[in-house]
Structure 1
Amino acid sequence: MERISAFFSSIWDTILTKHQEGIYNTICLGVLLGLPLLVIITLLFICCHCCWSPPGKRGQQPEKKKKKKKKKDEEDLWISAQPKLLQMEKRPSLPV
């Protein structure tokens, strides 16, 4: 028990010493001490989300039915006999 108390006492002394050295050290210590807490909270959130979410929403999406195009009995493959004439009419005339 004394070792644990001495460990936390030495950590507290280090924090006080760094705080007295400047604000930059205080901010760095705050970030370093906050990161493990952030990781624990994140893991707790992820575990609770996985355990308590409904079974249909656990990343398993229902299979979507693929729509197939229905083929017509007769496909229209007729090509105009005069496609260039129709295109020529749409173009403006050029002066010669």
Structure 2
Amino acid sequence: MEKISAFFNSIWNTILVKHQEGLFNTICLGILLGLPLLVVLTLIFICCHCCWSRPGQGSRQPEANKKKKKKKKKDEEDLWISAQPKLLQMEKRPSLPV
């Protein structure tokens, strides 16, 4: 237990000495001590995000929502590029009398 206490005391003494040497050293120490915490928090966030938003968990959505989506798809205009360009399709339409 004494070794652990001595380790943290030596770190604290180093921080105090660097702080007394100048503002630049204090900022650098803050960044260096904050980076591991930032990395751990980022990893936790990424892991939680991946676990909670898995694709393929459709059992959460009720059947009514799926039916609504299908109706929307039928009502929407088909946005796929057709095999024939629009100019060729226009030729098939009857022209208006001028």
Same fold (TM over 0.5): yes
Task: Report the structure, 1 or 2, having the larger helix content.
Answer: 2
Q: 1:53 matched to which residue of 2?
A: 53
**Deviation, structure 1 residue 46:** 0.4
TM-score (norm 2): 0.57
Q: 1:25 matched to which residue of 2?
A: 25
Measured in 1, the distance between the counterparts of 2:56 and 2:24 equals: 48
The runs of 5 or more residues in structure 2 that have no matched partner are: 58-79, 85-90, 92-98
SS of the equivalent of 1:55 reads: coil
Q: Which runs of 4+ in 1 moved over 3 A?
A: none
Measured in 1, the distance between the counterparts of 2:54 and 2:38 equals: 26
Tell me the amino acid that sits aligned with residue 49 of structure 1. Answer: H
Instruction: Report the count of equivalent residues.
Output: 66
SS of the equivalent of 2:83 reads: coil
Measured in 1, the distance between the counterparts of 2:53 and 2:27 equals: 37
Structure exhibiting the larger radius of gyration computed from Cα positions: 1
**Deviation, structure 1 residue 55:** 2.0
TM-score (norm 1): 0.58
